[in-house]
Structure formats: structure tokens, C-alpha cells
Structure 1
Amino acid sequence: MSMTAPADRLLYTPKEAAGVLAIGRSTLYELMAAGAVKYIKLGRCRRIRRSDLESYVAGLSPAA
């Protein structure tokens, strides 16, 4: 199984979203807990919208 999820999906699992962002799953959960990456809850499951991933990346500032 590939670590990246298809780009045409609307919702990603945290594991898939971490793969898309090329970060660890634990790091993604920390970003979610801090409110940096928004997510939705569907029952007991967490899902991240593609648009929320794009917004997070757009808000990152380049290294000096």
C-alpha cells in the first residue's frame, strides 16, 4: 500500500493525511490537537478534508 492517498479524495484518514504532508502520524495528531490542522469527527473516526490540508500548507511560512 502506498503512503500517499489519491489526490482526488475529499476526506483523508490521519494516516493518509500524514503521508500526503510527508510527516509522521504522531506529528499530525499533535497538529490536530493544537488546532493547526482542522478535522471533522464522523462517529469515533477523525477525517481531514483535502481543503483543510491545503489551507494548512498555504499558511506555512518559508524558512528564513
Structure 2
Amino acid sequence: MDAIPELENLNLRERLERIERNLLIDCLRKNDGNQTLSARELGLPRRTFLYRLRRLNINVGNVDV
């Protein structure tokens, strides 16, 4: 299996953060920015979802929905 070129020079933690970030943003877009629905879809408590948004520096207002 070939690695995604943009991830080749990243360590495991950086790769996982990139994947998690993309997943959260994609879910927010799918749910028109609704954090409660996005958290539910991902099987996370809303508080955990919000914590992850802050940890990954995702500003919901800047996510193109």
C-alpha cells in the first residue's frame, strides 16, 4: 500500500491529527456546521467533540459548509 505523499514526512501523531482534523471538518460540512449532529454522527459526546475542535484548532466559523 502506497503512502499518501503529503503524509510521508510526518510522524504517526502528526498523521493521526491530520486524519482526525479532516474527518471532523468533513463531518461539520456534511451537517452544515451543526456541532451536535456532527458529534452524534461520530459517536462522540458533544463535549469531547468540542474539545477535539479546540485541540486541533478548528474554528467552526471558518469551515466552509
How does the TM-score come out when normalised to structure 1?
0.42
Structure showing the higher strand proportion among its residues: 1
Q: Which has the higher helix share?
A: 2
Structure label with greater radius of gyration: 2
Q: TM-score, normalised by structure 2?
A: 0.41
